[in-house]
Amino acid sequence: MSVHVDQEPTTSVPVPVPALEVRGLVKHYPGVKALDGVDLVVRQHEVLGLAGENGAGKSTLLKALVGLVRPDAGEIYVRGEPVKLRSVVEAANHGIGMVFQEQSLVPNLTAAENIVLGSEGIAVRRGLYRWNAMRRLAQEQLDKIGSSIDPLARTDTLSFADRQMVEIAKVLRIEERSQHPPVIILDEPTSVLESKEIETLFEQIRRLREFASVVFVSHRLDEVLDVCDRVTVLRGGQSVGEVATAGAVPGELHRMMIGSSGSDDHYHGNAAAPVLAEQPRLSVRGLSGKSFRDVDLDVAAGEIVAIVGVHGSGREDVCRALFGAEPTTAGEILMDGKKLELPGTRAACAAGIGYVPAERKTEGMVGPMSVAENMTLTKQKARCSGPLVAPKKQATLVDSWISRLSIRTPGRDTAIQRLSGGNQQKVVLARWLVGGDIKLLLLDHPTRGLDIGARSEVYRLMRELAGSGVATVLLADSLEEAIGMADRILVMNDGRVAAEVACPNGGKPSPLDLVKEMV
Amino acid sequence: MSTPVTTKPAAAPATVKGGPGPAQRLTSYMPLIALAVLLAALTIADPEFLTQRSLTAASRTAAPLIVLAAGATLVVLCGGIDLSIAALASVSTVFLALWLPELGALATPAVILVAAAIGALQGVAHVLLRIPSFIVTLGGMSIFSAVALVVSDAGTVRVVDDSTIAWLDLYVGGYVPMSLTVAVIVVVLISVVLKVTPLHSWISATGYSESAARLAGTPVDLVKIGAFCVSGACAGLAAVMLVSRQFSGSPTMADNLLLPAVAAIVVGGTAITGGHGSVWRSLAGALVVTLLRVGLPIVGVPSAYEQILYGAIIVAAVALTLDRSKVLIIK
């Protein structure tokens, strides 16, 4: 395997100008640097893989390439010419097109209509569809990729794989706008496909290489290595390396994705190993639902159990099911040995379960409401006497938590959306603590979008809560975080628990031990 | 508090971005400004307007509108809309007129209770069957109008003995109409109950972000059903006010109050997308709408133009108050 960073091979033949080049791209979001000077080179007629963990900056980079995100600094070059991409149309004019992760086809239109939608060209004359011209146009596009899909089939009657083909056929229409070979970006095209369909897609991608450059993104590293010529690895908004795929193995790639430092020290406070009682606080047996089957899970008081798995492993749904926010079809949940029925989120709250959702802005907090209202939203009793809100009790309670968690806010009546991400997250966490009856915390990516300082504060808080006897289920943002924080790790794969790995202080597993169970 | 949590204070200062700007502050006082401007304009157009007699008459007209708007405001705050209020009030006038002879003084609470129950039923349909409130109440509107026509034999039901509801037609201190007093009491009551109980948090959370409210364990479904129930009860109360003034019930009596009521809510500045707003705003909005209504003839506009005005007000008020940055797709 050859790892070389930004080094063009020196040959006597002049190197053709890259189809697409990105230099020093920077993008800030409030409280987080999504792109921190990323570099990328897409050569002509190659399939370039893009790998990186969640939050490495992949989606932001892709969005910048198709004009959906405007970078704060840095340049994009198309065939050596600097360009500004301000919209999808401008990107298409430069020959850059993207097949989106969420399928962007209109289900109740025919494949042909979808292919011409948005750039109808000769398919429309005097405001009217010319069906024959449209079908011809669509057929031409489908022929390019050698697909035998009937252009007059309704899109919702097609399989996922065929829809993917239609998307590619549609995206290839940008060829009409530019005389040069296009750059086609495929964002996680395999996530909804069966393995046989994936093989067809890969053949397709190899065929695309004949007349286009392809950027391929997938969470599954074996796929990336299978179909790509070269892989660029992103970490923390920067490109950390390039790998020629010939002879490379997923493990090496993964090590680059997570960095060589392994599990970082700042995760550990001065935490002692949890004292495990005989009876686990949470005990889950055979839990099944829409996207997970037969999940067994025990969490003792004071223990942090992380669940890791790739996108689509079902771990998010397990977490929501434990909070009564996702229906289950079988299995039972025991709290302190007692069977728990969770028809909805209120039952879970009453049982002392707290949930911090991954989408803080839309699900975790109510933006325009005050810090105090957000903090007391669940445990109303903590601020009320009888049925009435007691303003003094509320003020004392909220202020005490603001200072205990050192939440930086002008005051308790400030709208929570005006705080920084880390402080918002602390308010959301405090919501479950103000009642003083929290037994089990479900943390779904609690550090997503937070900067380093805010992250370590959340880590310290988690440690302290565990120290006080709260059982924690953690869906970590990265393997590194899971290994650093957890006492035990469950690996989920395709809706099932694939492995359980002890993760004590001083005996932490390496990310690679986990990765081999994940894929 | 059994959870001992202490975190060392960090050095970084509090990061706070964008509070309400001057433009936002101005829009939050919009209904009061509109009210003052209208009063001034009407006084200039007709110096006779600012007399006790015409103000009393105007406030009598305003009372049912205030009550209707106040109730429906709760539904809007939850992020829904209640289009059935006027039709429900109409059918309630018929019920009241029919029940007064037999039930006497009990007819009033009976009508309000029935209207509240019907409102709650719509809420249950909205929540359990997961139908948009707009559709549920549009259907309700049609059903209630038809029921009113059927039970009234498509005609006006006269009230012979109105002794038990005549008190609503009296004047407090000789000047202030009793109906207006009751309407203001309703607004105060709703607003105080919201203020001193967790209900305000629950309703706002539901309106601003239902998924966040649900994941915080807020009783979202109950809150919504409750809002529809209060909206129904208010429609019943508005019906009592209308009957006490007209000495009859009719299957279309309140129908022309739907648009003014919605106008009152949006002119008051309550966000049609839910969350932001208050019943006080709707009270001010209802007064603005009423002034426009009585003012049009004064400045010489035929009252046939009224509906054009309501339509325009609703669109304009929402255009001014809708925060489009929060709504990605406008349906």
Question: Which residue in B4, B13, B212 is closest to A362 by CB distance?
Answer: B212
Res. A33: pLDDT tops 80? no
Query: How much is the pLDDT for B48?
Result: 81
A345–B15 C-beta distance less than 8 A: no
Residue with tokens 């994936």: A198
Query: How much is the pLDDT for A271?
Result: 52
Q: Strand, coil or helix: what is A249?
A: coil
* Domain segments of chain A as ranges: 20-256, 279-352+439-519, 364-437
Q: What average pLDDT does the structure give for chain A?
A: 86
Q: Per-residue confidence at A200, pLDDT binned at 50, 70, 90?
A: confident
HEC assignment per residue over chain B: CCCCCCCCCCCCCCCCCCCCCHHHHHHHCHHHHHHHHHHHHHHHHCHHHHCHHHHHHHHHHHHHHHHHHHHHHHHHHCCCCCCCHHHHHHHHHHHHHHHHHHHHHHHHHHHHHHHHHHHHHHHHHHHHCCCCHHHHHHHHHHHHHHHHHHHCCCCCEECCCCCCCHHHHCEECCCEEHHHHHHHHHHHHHHHHHHHCCHHHHHHHHHHCHHHHHHCCCCHHHHHHHHHHHHHHHHHHHHHHHHHHHCEECCCCCHHHHHHHHHHHHHHCCCCCCCCCCHHHHHHHHHHHHHHHHHHHHCCCCHHHHHHHHHHHHHHHHHHHCCCCCCCCCC
Which chain B residue's Cα is nearest to A374?
B201
Summarised one tens digit per residue, pLDDT across range B291-323 is 988 888 888 888 788 888 888 888 988 887 776
- CB of B211 within 8 Å of a chain A CB? The answer is yes
The percent of residues above 90 in pLDDT, for chain A, comes to 43
Query: How much is the pLDDT for A261?
Result: 45
Interface test with A, best of B2, B6, B7, B206 (most A CBs within 10 A): B7
Buried/exposed code over B248-279 (b: 16+ C-beta within 10 A; e: otherwise): bbbbbbbbebbbbbbbbbbbbbbbbbbbbbbb
Number of domains in chain B: 1
Write out chain A residues lying below 8 Å of B8, CB-based: 406
- What residues of chain A, 383 to 422, have a C-beta less than 8 Å from chain B? 383-384, 387-389, 404-406, 408-410, 414, 418-420
Query: How much is the pLDDT for A126?
Result: 82
Question: Which residue in A346, A387, A418 is closest to B217 by CB distance?
Answer: A346
Which token pair is A249? 């193995």
Mean pLDDT calculated for residue range B282-294 = 92
Summarised one tens digit per residue, pLDDT across range A452-494 is 778 888 998 999 999 889 999 999 888 888 988 999 999 998 8
Any domain includes B19: no
- What residues of chain A, 31 to 60, have a C-beta less than 8 Å from chain B? 31
A388–B196 C-beta distance less than 8 A: yes
Mean pLDDT calculated for residue range B320-327 = 66
Any domain includes B171: yes
Any domain includes B38: no
Q: What is the dihedral of CA A160, A162, A165, A169, to 10 degrees?
A: -120
Query: How much is the pLDDT for B323?
Result: 66
Query: How much is the pLDDT for B51?
Result: 83
Query: How much is the pLDDT for B256?
Result: 92
Any domain includes B23: no
Give the fold, CATH level 3, of A20-256: Rossmann fold (3.40.50)
Res. A293: pLDDT tops 80? yes
Integer Cα distance of A384 and B265 in angstroms: 30
Which token pair is B280? 């006080």
Summarised one tens digit per residue, pLDDT across range B22-64 is 666 676 788 888 889 888 888 888 888 878 888 888 888 999 9
The shortest C-alpha distance from B121 to chain A (Å) reads 22
Summarised one tens digit per residue, pLDDT across range B139-154 is 999 999 999 999 999 9
Domain A279-352+439-519 class in CATH: alpha beta
The distance from CA A64 to its chain's CA centroid, rounded to whole angstroms, is 17
Mean pLDDT calculated for residue range B107-120 = 97
Res. A156: pLDDT tops 80? yes
Question: Which residue in B5, B211, B275 is closest to A362 by CB distance?
Answer: B211
Residue A94 CB contacts under 8 Å (≥ 6 apart), including other chains: A78, A83, A85, A178
Question: Which residue in B6, B14, B219 is closest to A408 by CB distance?
Answer: B14
A436–B1 C-beta distance less than 8 A: yes
Any domain includes B15: no
Which chain A residue's Cα is nearest to B197?
A388
Domains A20-256 and A279-352+439-519 share a fold: yes
Residue A242 CB contacts under 8 Å (≥ 6 apart), including other chains: A3, A4, A5, A6, A230, A231, A232, A233
Which token pair is A57? 């900056």
Which token pair is A448? 């997503």
Res. A168: pLDDT tops 90? no
Say if strands A73-78 and A81-83 run parallel, antiparallel, or are unpaired.
antiparallel
Integer Cα distance of B186 and A263 in angstroms: 61
Mean pLDDT calculated for residue range B256-267 = 94
**CATH number for the domain including B287?**
1.10.3470
B201–A376 C-beta distance less than 8 A: yes
- CB of A424 within 8 Å of a chain B CB? The answer is no
Whole domain around residue B189: which residue ranges?
A: 48-317
- CB of A423 within 8 Å of a chain B CB? The answer is yes
Q: Per-residue confidence at B326, pLDDT binned at 50, 70, 90?
A: low
Query: How much is the pLDDT for A58?
Result: 86
- CB of B18 within 8 Å of a chain A CB? The answer is yes
Any domain includes B30: no
Query: How much is the pLDDT for B175?
Result: 85
Query: How much is the pLDDT for A496?
Result: 92
Query: How much is the pLDDT for A453?
Result: 77
